[in-house]
Copies of this chain bind each other. A is one copy, B any other.
């Protein structure tokens, strides 16, 4: 139902309160130099007319929309949904609203979104583009002309960034497995040229190295999509000549596929195959067995991102781009155990 009467403007309020436009404006913007009596009358008039300042006019005049743009590839990703929620809550407290755009990993769409951010006079943006290496995207981000925080992307642009500590996290996971005597560890990631995947692989390799294990490329599976089917791939991996005794895998649906594939082969977790999840989906805690996982600290990530963005928007940040690292917390649960065979052996104590 549309309101029948036209919206009240600042002019109406002024008339109704018997003061000038300027005074009303001063009340709205909480200017110090306004007498209590005028303020009172204006506030009453605003209430009576149910007045709300027109944001478009304010934005035009003050060149600020009090809005932050958020570009993710996909909010359906639980981690990003959580992050968004925290972003929005914190930014709201600071008086901003948030525009959320899902790029669905489509380059054209990402460019459009960035252009929208610009024409809509966003005061700032938080972005995690899919095409972090594309020249067009990089150029668009570079000349965005507004405060930006980049989320877990390796982009050579002069903006603040929040990086998730995949390398250290995955390394820790691999060391955990090595400690449990696993020597052949598989990795299931997505075949996408983005930071999360690159850094996970990096951490994987460095973990192996630190444990004195050799990297076997054939144990790395690169899935077409991070939510894509993985059942066949995992099955193939487990049926290969020298199969892994442990898997480090993307969370949620890939994890589910992996568990399923393991079970379908009549194998048990962790007795036959240990499993570590990258990301800590809801069911990891409750699954039987519960799933050992690596969880990005989204509270820290969101806090750091918003803080940097607010400082930058207020102009209280140093010119130099800054960088924050959000830790990945490794949570050992029941899905990881001693490598098969090793529990029969007596642990070597010396030499």
A22 to chain B, nearest CB (A): 19
A87 to chain B, nearest CB (A): 10
Q: State whether the Cβ of A325 lies closer than 8 Å to any Cβ in chain B.
A: no
Q: State whether the Cβ of A193 lies closer than 8 Å to any Cβ in chain B.
A: no
Interface residues of A in 88-103 (CB under 8 A from B): 88-89, 92, 97-102
Interface residues of A in 248-304 (CB under 8 A from B): 252-253, 256-257, 259-260, 263, 281-283, 285-288
Q: State whether the Cβ of A76 lies closer than 8 Å to any Cβ in chain B.
A: yes
Size range of the interface on A? 35 or more
Q: State whether the Cβ of A121 lies closer than 8 Å to any Cβ in chain B.
A: yes
Task: Please report the C-alpha to C-alpha distance between residue A50 and residue B286 in the assembled complex, in whole angstroms.
Answer: 53
User: What residues of B have a CB within 8 angstroms of the CB of A115 in the complex?
Assistant: 52
Determine the residue in chain B with the shortest Cβ distance to A290.
B260
Determine the residue in chain B with the shortest Cβ distance to A262.
B288
User: What residues of B have a CB within 8 angstroms of the CB of A88 in the complex?
Assistant: 100-102
Contact string, A130-162, partner B, CB cutoff 8 A, digits 1/0? 000000000000111111000000000111000
Task: Please report the C-alpha to C-alpha distance between residue A262 and residue B101 in the assembled complex, in whole angstroms.
Answer: 41
User: What residues of B have a CB within 8 angstroms of the CB of A81 in the complex?
Assistant: 75-76, 78, 81
Contact of A260 among B7, B142, B145, B286 (CB under 8 A): B286
Contact string, A72-85, partner B, CB cutoff 8 A, digits 1/0? 00111010011011
Is there contact, CB below 8 Å, between A65 and B56?
Answer: yes
A111 to chain B, nearest CB (A): 12
Q: State whether the Cβ of A30 lies closer than 8 Å to any Cβ in chain B.
A: no
User: What residues of B have a CB within 8 angstroms of the CB of A216 in the complex?
Assistant: none
Contact string, A1-36, partner B, CB cutoff 8 A, digits 1/0? 111000100000000000000000000000000000
Known: A2-B145, A3-B143, A259-B288. 17 other contacts (CB 8 A): A3-B145, A7-B145, A52-B118, A56-B56, A56-B57, A56-B59, A74-B85, A75-B85, A78-B81, A81-B81, A89-B102, A253-B282, A253-B286, A256-B286, A281-B283, A282-B283, A283-B287
List, sorted by A's number, 26 A–B pairs whose CB atoms are closer than 8 Å: A1-B157, A2-B146, A2-B147, A52-B115, A53-B119, A55-B119, A55-B121, A56-B65, A56-B121, A74-B85, A76-B82, A84-B102, A85-B102, A88-B100, A88-B102, A89-B102, A97-B101, A97-B116, A97-B120, A99-B99, A252-B282, A252-B283, A253-B286, A257-B286, A259-B286, A287-B287
